[in-house]
Chains A and B, each alone.
Chain A
Amino acid sequence: MGTTVPLQMTVNGQAVDAEVEPRLLLVHFIRDTVGLTGTHIGCDTSNCGACTCHVDGESVKSCTLLAVQAAGSEVTTIEGMSGTGELHPLQEGFWAEHGLQCGYCTPGMIMAAADLIQRHGPGPLTDEEVRKGLEGNLCRCTGYQNIVKAVQAAAEAMGKVPA
């Protein structure tokens, strides 16, 4: 390991204090330093979105960011989505609608979808909006149809009903 720098951030509400290489990717920081392995790695090129988490409330592909770029930020991972033990409406939606098979892309899908729902104004999310909104997240198992249904069900549960 080369030179290290101090790094502080908040991950799922917990303060994290570490010494890291400046080149360390945020996804490796989350997985190896903090020990939260629900955030996955599926490519080298920021195409697949398996590593998607939230940095200060916005969805980010954590393989695209150096850990030090998230200094002082609040990071939320899939493990932080059901903090109180209750499933998040997206987790419930993916379960109810069979929106996952192998589950590898699922945490990233859920984090990206949470941001998509968040950014969407009132009114239902259309099929096309969900599909377009999740273009940055690849799934090889499901053919996406049940992911779309899961996100729409979650959006409805989160109050995105017709205005």
Chain B
Amino acid sequence: MSTIEETPKHVGQAIRRKEDPRLITGRAQYVDDFVVHGMLYMAVVRSTEAHAKIVSIDGSEALARPGIKAFVTGEDMSDLLAPLPMAWAPPGVEMKMPERWPLARGEVHHVGDAVAMVIGEDKYGVVDAAQTVRVEYEPLPVVVDVEEALKDEILVHESLGTNKTHEWSMGGGDVDQAIADADVVIERRIVNHRTSGAAIEPRGVIAEYRQGSLTVWSSTQVPHLLRLFFAVQMGIPEDHVRVIAPEVGGGFGGKLQVCAEETLCAWASKQLGRPIKWIETRSEAMAVSHHGRDQVDYVRMAATSDGKITAFHANIIQDCGAYFGLLTPMIPELGAFVMTGCYAIPNVKTDITGVLTNKYITDAIRGAGRPEMTHMLEVMIDQLADELDMDRIELRRKNFIAAADFPYTTPYGITYDSGAYEAAMDRALEMLDLDAFRAEQAELREQGILRGVGFSTYTEICGLAPSRAVGPKGFGLGIGLYESALVRVHPTGTVTVFTGASPHGQGHETGFAQIVADRLGTDPASVEVIHGDTATGPMGLGTYGSRSLAIGGVACAHAAEKLALKCKEIVAFNLEADVGDIEVGSGKFQLAGDPDKGMTLGEIAGCAYIDATAMPEGMELGLEQTLIYDPTNFVFPFGTHICVVEVDANTGKVEILRWVAVDDCGPAVNPMLIDGQVHGGVAHGIGQALYEQVVYDDRGQLITGTFMDYALPTASEIPTFELDRTETKSPSNSLGVKGIGEAGTIACTPAIVNAVIDALRHEGISYLDMPLSPLRIWEALEEARGRGDGPDDSEQGKEVPPQGEGSAGSGPTIPEGGAA
């Protein structure tokens, strides 16, 4: 008898997306496209100071303007039952957590901190009114640089007595001993600078409180978590709260947050009895949609003289910003879980220190901790190759975990599910033709043309997550990370799938439909996937952490498989056959060996809903299945990314000439969607490596407040990608699938840094921090060539750069010396 898994029909196909017709015709509805009868608009008055006491707030002029209905400050909202949440409380870790309320109470801690809100009838009118609000501040000292903040000379929150929020360590083996015994030890200070998620749709909220019930439309990745939080914060029973994430215009982690503005709209709607709408401007998004990355990493790697890596240690100083967001202190820890990457490194240690500064919060942005960790590891592998004068491919090969050694348990006790690292790297090398490149590189160098190639061999941890491992008694998250599915076959045989995952561009409606269709012998066109509405499906955890397919998709598969069993029993009853002889065919459930005998899903549903006599005695009528799937392990996608660059010797400008990538995320459900995720993921990393940086000046003023100053890559800055895949099944789930949403971003940045160093190494430049702006490279070249004064921050290129400030990025559009 054939099984369902052996006869996939739609899984594996690059079918066109079911989402697209409404999106390409302008008929999709994002939050800002909804109008609720009686709706008022909200505008936020934001702090112009990075740190100050609020002496007074005068909204009288605003209130006097036509159409203005309310003016609200933090003191007015004292009835809130809880501040904005942070969801990670690791057992045994002392955490100093600043309280964060939707409107500041007495003091502001970063530029953009919400001070008051104005509500009125006209969307232009509320902005006008907000500008008339007079806030008197008594400025307090400001600390912007994370290592300055660590000295506790200026406190972000006086009441905490320190800027250090917590320390967290993880170790395996004996790093100190291994370093003492090593033939070679290299140390680097690596800065992973602050970036913005920069989804093109800014955040938006509409809240309507009506007769004891609250409905919120929000541009969010986590509608169910929002509902839970509204219940806690506003004291509304959870069953009376409905959160809808309609079409969401990109997230990248930036909408994995419980936001002040969501509470402001909900609270105001309850007070005023009118629906309230707030739509973020881009300037607000740059200031108060959470930022990502922002670590200073002191890294040590030890090895034998023949290139066996014996130890890796990272001391991570995390710039949290002025408060904690939903997951802020957890971000570096997520990276620590894959600190050893693809390599069998016996002695490892991660020390993390969380630090507050007078900047906006950092939190999960595409990759969340894993890009930072992969960056330090892959950059250090190249630095070690230079130190050992060893081929960087051979160094990787020598330290790879062998394909035969999976499942592989790392010194941290994390069990990698499956991997075939050499196969992916070999395929990528074949696509690149390294020998031809090296010959060309040498030839062009004679002509003064600087080209380089950089490698990044990565594995990452995703498919978040086994609830026992990450929940309150495990890693310390305030909730498990299971996912739900409800598969409902309608009386006519069409199917609706409700998922707790909450996509914002990934294509769940297509991929999940392919999975369910194969299991129910129908076509994806007959399977509608509904998401993002807490009133329509079971509790779900949303979309982030490359979790949707490996958790949400598997939940759909399991629910559909349970339904398929019921279908088989109904068919067996009607055909008077043995249930074991019924198989899922194309378009129907059929008798094995005699496929002419069978029933379509519509015919089966007809039995289940219409003719009870066609159902086995005692079988429950109807045809639907709800299921919560909780995985037993994470999944670990992997691959090799190769970047070829040309560096302009006169201007320092980097151009990416080629991007070769071989990723392995298990068997493909829809290869077209996978390629799309890799394209976008790598482009995101290219943005960070070369162009993007959130910059504050030394008074905490945001310099990159719009897309004029924050350089998102355009089509001209992104190369044409050369992609391939290998497929190694994960034993963690029945589909064998992993995740791909973040892989490109995680793999990307070290490949670029390594490529640029490869182009400049012969000039005497051995290391550079991101972003690799023309100015930074030009200054390094000038210094290396003994011209000019070089940059002020002259640690660039030195073996062990001194501590302290100075690694702020710089570029033609980014002023010098701002961010930590």
Contacts and interface: CB of A to CB of B under 8 A. Distances in A.
B706 A47 contact: yes
Interface string A114-154: 00000000000001001110111111111111111000000
Contacts, number: 183
A140 B27 contact: no
Contact of B715 (A24, A47, A77, A147): A147
B612 interface: no
B617 interface: no
Contacts of A96: 16
Contacts of B680: 101, 140-143
A79 B26 contact: yes
A87 B16 CA distance: 15
Contacts of A142: 676, 679-680, 683
B737 to A, nearest CB: 19
Given A43-B282, A43-B706, A102-B249, A143 B17 contact: no
Contacts of B683: 140, 142-144
Contacts of A39: 26
A98 B26 contact: no
B536 interface: no
Interface string A77-118: 111011000010001001110101111111100100000000
Contacts of B682: 143
Given A23-B124, A42-B201, A138-B200, A143 B718 contact: yes
A54 interface: no
A3 interface: no
A21 interface: yes
B24 interface: yes
Given A42-B201, A47-B706, A47-B707, A36 B20 contact: no
Interface in B675-723: 675-676, 678-684, 706-708, 712, 714-716, 718, 720-721
Contacts of B33: 31, 37
A75 interface: no
Contact of B201 (A36, A45, A104, A127): A104
A163 interface: no
A100 B23 contact: yes
Nearest to A101: B505
Nearest to B121: A1
Contacts of B125: 1
A45 B714 contact: no
B248 interface: yes
A140 B252 contact: yes
A68 interface: no
B25 A105 contact: no
Nearest to A133: B715
A75 B706 CA distance: 28
A132 B17 contact: no
Nearest to B284: A44
Q: Give the one of B19, B23, B504, B678 with max A CB within 10 A.
A: B23
A26 interface: no
Interface residues on B, range: 35 or more
B200 A102 contact: yes
Interface in A19-53: 21, 23-24, 28, 31-32, 36-45, 47-48, 50
Contacts of B481: none
B21 interface: yes
Nearest to B714: A135
Contact of B708 (A36, A45, A110, A127): A45
A37 B32 contact: yes
Contacts of A43: 282, 706-707
Given A23-B124, A45-B706, A144 B26 contact: no
B24 A95 contact: yes
A95 B20 contact: yes
A77 B24 CA distance: 12
A37 B26 contact: yes
Given A98-B672, A141-B680, A144-B683, A104 B30 contact: yes
A87 B24 contact: yes
Contacts of B712: 47, 138, 140
A106 B24 CA distance: 6
Contacts of B66: 1
B122 A1 contact: yes
Interface in B714-771: 714-716, 718, 720-721
A69 to B, nearest CB: 17
Q: Give the one of B25, B248, B679, B684 with max A CB within 10 A.
A: B25
B214 interface: no
Contact of A110 (B24, B32, B200, B283): B24
A42 B199 CA distance: 9
Nearest to A131: B715
B495 interface: no
B811 to A, nearest CB: 17
A79 B28 contact: no
B247 interface: yes
Contact of A79 (B25, B67, B202, B250): B25
B23 A21 contact: no
A101 B384 CA distance: 39
Nearest to B34: A37
Interface in B104-133: 122-125
Q: Give the one of A21, A28, A32, A101 with max B CB within 10 A.
A: A101
Interface of A: 1, 21, 23-24, 28, 31-32, 36-45, 47-48, 50, 77-79, 81-82, 87, 91, 94-96, 98, 100-107, 110, 127, 130-132, 134-148
Interface of B: 16-17, 19-21, 23-30, 32-33, 66-67, 122-125, 198-202, 247-250, 252, 279, 281-283, 504-507, 672-673, 675-676, 678-684, 706-708, 712, 714-716, 718, 720-721
12 contacts: A28-B123, A47-B708, A100-B24, A103-B24, A104-B199, A106-B23, A131-B714, A131-B715, A137-B714, A142-B676, A143-B679, A144-B715
Given A96-B16, A107-B24, A132-B716, 17 more contacts: A24-B124, A37-B26, A37-B32, A40-B32, A41-B279, A42-B200, A42-B202, A87-B25, A91-B24, A95-B24, A101-B676, A102-B247, A103-B19, A103-B23, A130-B715, A138-B712, A140-B200
- What 8 A-B pairs come out closest when comparing CB atoms? A38-B26, A104-B249, A103-B23, A102-B505, A143-B679, A143-B683, A101-B505, A78-B26
